[in-house]
Amino acid sequence: MRAAAPAAAPCAALRSTLTAARSGRVAPAARAGRGRLVARAAVAAKADAPSSATPSKSDGHEVLLFEALRVALIEEMKLDPTVCVFGEDVGHYGGSYKVTKGLADMFGDLRVLDTPLAENSFTGMGVGAGMKGLRPVVEGMNMGFLLLAYNQISNNCGMLHYTSGGQFKIPLVIRGPGGVGRQLGAEHSQGLESYFQSIPGLQMVACSTPYNAKGLMKAAIRSENPVVLFEHVLLYNLKEKIPDEEYVLCLEEAEMVRPGEHVTILTYSRMRHHVMQAAKTLVNKGYDPEVIDIRSLKPFDLHTIGNSIKKTHRVLIVEECMRTGGIGASLRSAIIDNFWDYLDAPIMCLSSQDVPTPYASTLEDATVVQPAQIVAAVEQICQ
C-alpha cells in the first residue's frame, strides 16, 4: 500500500491585475502559507479555484523567443514607469541578442541605461534602485559574467529584505543568455543555476519557448522578490505562436508538456527540446513518457511533479546543468524526501559533464545530454 499524499498549500498567485493608469500597480494577492512538504524550495498544491485563465495559443502571432522577451519588457515599461533596464549595450545597440532593441528610443536613456563593463557595480545599482521603489531589469551580457556580481546577488539582492527587517523589498529581475552555445568557449558556455540556487531569498525560473519567455518575464517584473530569469543562447531564434492578448504566467508553476503513463521526465530550458525529440523515438518503441518542463528552478513545483510521480512511479531528470551540485541533484533530493513511497525504480539524472565546455564542436556535444541518451535511460528505467 502506498503512503498517503502530504497535505499542501496553494501556489502563490503571481498574476497581477492590470490597471489602465501607467503609474498605478495593483498589488498581487497575498501569498498563501507554505505547505507541509519537507523539501526545501518546494511549492505544494494549487488553489482549487483557477487563477486567471491562460489565453489560448490557437490564435495569435508568431514571434521569436528574443522578440517575446522584448515585447514583455515593452508592455511592462508602458504599464509601469518604475520599470527600467540596466546593462552593457542594452541601449541604442539593443543588447547583445537584441532583446532591448529600440527600447532606448521608446523610453529614453535614463530608463534604458547603458552601463560600463562593471557587473558588480551595475548589479549593485539595480539592488539600490529596487530598494528605492524602482523595478530594475538587469541584463548580464552573458550569464557567466554575473559571477563578477555574485556578492551583490547573494549578500544584498537575496538577503536585504530579511536583514533590513522587512523595511526594503528588492523587486529586481536579473536576466541574460547562458548555457552551452555553438563553440563559444568555456567562459561563454555556462549556466549559473547551480551557483545561485542556494542563495536565500532568490527565485529562479528558466524559459524554454517564446510563450513562456514572455509570460515569465512579465511575472518576474511584477514580483516583489528578486528573480533570476535564465535564457538559453541557442533558443533566442526559436519561433512559436503566442496570444495577441496579454497573459502572465505563475513563477512557481511547472508546465505539463506531454502527458504520459510510463515515466516522468523532468527537464527545463534547452533540454526540453532534446527530451521532446527523444519522446518521438520512445513512442515509436512503445513507451509513453510524461514530459514536464519544471520552469521554476527555485522553488520547485512539487504539486505537479508529485502528481506525475504518483501516476508513473518512475523519474528521469534531464538537465544541462553540471551534475555535481546541480538543479537535478536538488530535485532528486526533493523527490526522495517527499515521494519515496511512490517510486518503483531508482531516480535517474542525465546532466552535463563536470568539465569546462570544450571549444571543439564534437567535444562540446559530448558534454551535453543528447536525445539518444534520453531514449537509452528511459529503456533502462522501464525494464
Active-site residue (options: 161, 188, 232, 313)? 188
CA 309, distance to chain mean position in Å, is 21
Whether residue 318 contacts residue 369, with contact meaning beta carbons closer than 8 Å, is answered with yes
d(CA 364, CA 195): 21
How many helices (H) does the chain have, and how many strands (E)? 12, 16
Whether residue 266 contacts residue 294, with contact meaning beta carbons closer than 8 Å, is answered with yes
d(CA 259, CA 21): 41
d(CA 275, CA 180): 16
The reply to whether 92 belongs to the active site is no
The reply to whether 379 belongs to the active site is no
Helix spans in the chain (H): 65-79, 103-107, 119-131, 150-151, 160-163, 193-196, 210-222, 271-284, 302-312, 327-339, 361-367, 371-381
Active-site residue (options: 119, 252, 255, 319)? 119
Residue type, 65: L
Residue 40 CB neighbour total at 10 angstroms = 14
List active site positions. 119, 188
